[in-house]
A and B are shown apart, each in its own frame.
Chain A
Amino acid sequence: MASTAQSTSSTLPKGVAPLRAGVGNSFLWRRLHSLTGIVPVGLFLLEHFLSNAEALNGVGAYNAQVKFLTGLPFRLGMEIFGIFIPLAFHALYGVYIWWRGENNVIDYPWAGNWFYTVQRYSGILVFAYVTYHIWYMRFAGVHLVDHYDASFWKVQHELSHQLALGIYVVGVIAASWHFGYGLFLFAAKWGIVTGKKAQKRAQAAGIALSILLMLMGLATVYAFVTAEPQKKNPVWDQHSESAPEQSRLIPQSTPSSQAR
């Protein structure tokens, strides 16, 4: 009797813990998560969408944009400290946030709660998509830092697979939404936009930006899919490490697929 009473008392639900005033660093990490979502990750997203939209101006313009970006000074440093580390932090801490939230949109099907839920799941989708995207575009296959002129071909080749095309469309939509609505969340949580009316406006503006980015991204995908199929230049398969100087020179001496 006594033993059963003891075992049940140890499993009694304690409920939610009270506020731990003065304890922990979660405030710093959580606000840093919020900030990195805007700067630099959000800023990079805007640059990335705009740069990719060069595809609408044709193969030459797209490859030239890649040449410009890959030729920037301190490129590797900017990639690591300006994109990779903040993005990885935002993504991993975001998974932690997602993990601890308890969706209750079935019980409380209100607009804000839907947006809350979508923000969490779009974040997870974007994380999965971006991981794949970075692996494929930055590390696997033809190296675009060495062969900028392969850029259009590489994206087009990727999007020629039905499954990849689907993944890109979903990824573009999810990322656009997550950033646009995230901008509103940032403004609301940091006390920049506080009033009811002002928040309605900010929310509408965030959603409008999301839709704009979606349209921009989908138009870019459309441009790749509908453009004349590019041919692969065998030179692109040469790895830069074996002959870095040479491979950097080759694309410039052979116009390859750049001419339509």
Chain B
Amino acid sequence: MANKSVLFKIKRQASPSTEPFWEEFEVEYRPGLNVISLFMEVAVNPVTRAGKPTTPINYDSNCLEEVCGSCAMLINGKARMGCSALVDNLEQPITIEPFSKFPVIRDLQVDRSVLFENLKAVKAWVPIDGTYALGDGPRILPQVQEQAYQLSQCMSCCCCMEACPQFNESTGFVGAATIAQARLFNMHPTGKVLKQERLAALMGDGGIQECGYAQNCVEACPKDIPLTRSISDVGGDVMKKAILDFFRT
């Protein structure tokens, strides 16, 4: 092959109950390639490097511009988004694996519903449902908006959870994303009505106390969300609640 090529290997798995296996691929180099475009090349010509015909790679993706949070995977061992992982910046052969702490559905597609369950457990929403119009909501100061905006960028990719040493099956830790979302909705003048419930939820088993402050979450977050700050902030709120509950209930 006269042209430059890109070497990569993928940890694949046909179904949730079958054993994983590795396949190596080689595609022609183009400037600006990212990891998802490598998979697109494989889909065009699903043949391994050894020349063996195979199936196209199964993976979640949607926006391809690091906004939707779908294509999170382990690239050279680190949790990140496939779409923003540029081949030019990656060491070859690129190793691509599904997230290790989430059940594999097929190939790189994993079941991340635990985050949805966690968001439901902390009531990560603003309750406005009612039988009549409530009128305009309270005004939110621009300073609060700025803080809230950062947190609102969370796209549920789960990179913070995958990279967290405390997020595992023995702790059942809730993870940084959910704590940051609890902070976001506690900041909201209407969302605040559920603040005590959110804090109480985060004091249950697997709650905020399981954080070991390794700070991987904030390093891994593709959206640069201030996750450790959120954990400290909510950590303080939770302590205040615990102490007040101790003396006043």
Interface of A toward B, CB cutoff 8 Å = 5, 8-9, 12-24, 26-27, 30-31, 97, 99-104, 107-108, 110-113, 115-117, 119-120, 185, 188-196, 199
Interface of B toward A, CB cutoff 8 Å = 16-17, 77-78, 101-104, 111, 114, 117-118, 121-122, 161, 163, 165-174, 178, 200-216, 219-220, 226, 228-229, 231-240, 242
Which of B16, B178, B231 interacts with A19 by CB under 8 Å? Answer: B178
Query: Which residues in B have their C-beta under 8 angstroms from that of A26?
Result: 205-207, 209-210
Query: Which residues in B have their C-beta under 8 angstroms from that of A192?
Result: 236
Cα–Cα, bound, A24→B242 (Å): 14
Which of A14, A19, A113 interacts with B202 by CB under 8 Å? Answer: A19
Query: Which residues in A have their C-beta under 8 angstroms from that of B233?
Result: 191, 194
Which of B165, B169, B201 interacts with A16 by CB under 8 Å? Answer: B169
Q: Which 3 A-B pairs have the closest CB atoms?
A: A191-B236, A112-B215, A24-B205
A188, B122: Cβ atoms closer than 8 Å: no
A26-B210, A185-B213 known; A19-B122 Cβ under 8 A = yes
A103, B165: Cβ atoms closer than 8 Å: yes
A14-B103, A20-B172 known; A108-B204 Cβ under 8 A = no
Cα–Cα, bound, A116→B55 (Å): 41
User: Shortest distance in angstroms between B185's beta carbon and chain A's nearest beta carbon?
Assistant: 15
B118, A116: Cβ atoms closer than 8 Å: no
A190, B235: Cβ atoms closer than 8 Å: yes
Cα–Cα, bound, A104→B219 (Å): 14
B121, A21: Cβ atoms closer than 8 Å: yes
A101, B212: Cβ atoms closer than 8 Å: yes
B168, A100: Cβ atoms closer than 8 Å: yes
A15, B166: Cβ atoms closer than 8 Å: no
If A31-B242, A116-B165 are given as contacts, then 14 extra A-B residue pairs at C-beta distance below 8 Å, sorted by A number, are A8-B17, A15-B111, A16-B168, A16-B171, A19-B178, A22-B201, A23-B204, A24-B204, A26-B205, A101-B166, A112-B215, A113-B216, A191-B239, A194-B233
A18, B237: Cβ atoms closer than 8 Å: no
Query: Which residues in A have their C-beta under 8 angstroms from that of B163?
Result: 104, 108
Pull 26 A–B residue pairs with CB atoms less than 8 Å apart, ordered by A.
Answer: A9-B17, A14-B169, A15-B111, A15-B169, A16-B173, A18-B114, A19-B117, A19-B204, A20-B205, A21-B204, A30-B209, A30-B210, A31-B209, A101-B171, A102-B165, A102-B168, A110-B215, A112-B214, A117-B165, A190-B235, A191-B234, A191-B235, A191-B239, A193-B232, A196-B226, A199-B228
**Of all chain A residues, which has the CB nearest B162?**
A104
Cα–Cα, bound, A101→B69 (Å): 26
A13-B103, A21-B200, A101-B212 known; A31-B239 Cβ under 8 A = yes
Query: Which residues in A have their C-beta under 8 angstroms from that of B118?
Result: 18-19
Query: Which residues in B have their C-beta under 8 angstroms from that of A120?
Result: 212
Query: Which residues in B have their C-beta under 8 angstroms from that of A5?
Result: 17
**Of all chain A residues, which has the CB nearest B200?**
A22
**Of all chain A residues, which has the CB nearest B209?**
A30
Which of B101, B165, B172 interacts with A101 by CB under 8 Å? Answer: B165
Cα–Cα, bound, A199→B102 (Å): 31
Query: Which residues in B have their C-beta under 8 angstroms from that of A8?
Result: 17
**Of all chain B residues, which has the CB nearest A11?**
B17
A31-B242, A112-B215, A116-B214 known; A20-B235 Cβ under 8 A = no
**Of all chain B residues, which has the CB nearest A114?**
B214
Which of B17, B114, B203, B232 interacts with A17 by CB under 8 Å? Answer: B114
Query: Which residues in A have their C-beta under 8 angstroms from that of B228?
Result: 188, 196, 199
User: Shortest distance in angstroms between B94's beta carbon and chain A's nearest beta carbon?
Assistant: 15
User: Shortest distance in angstroms between B222's beta carbon and chain A's nearest beta carbon?
Assistant: 14
**Of all chain B residues, which has the CB nearest A185?**
B213
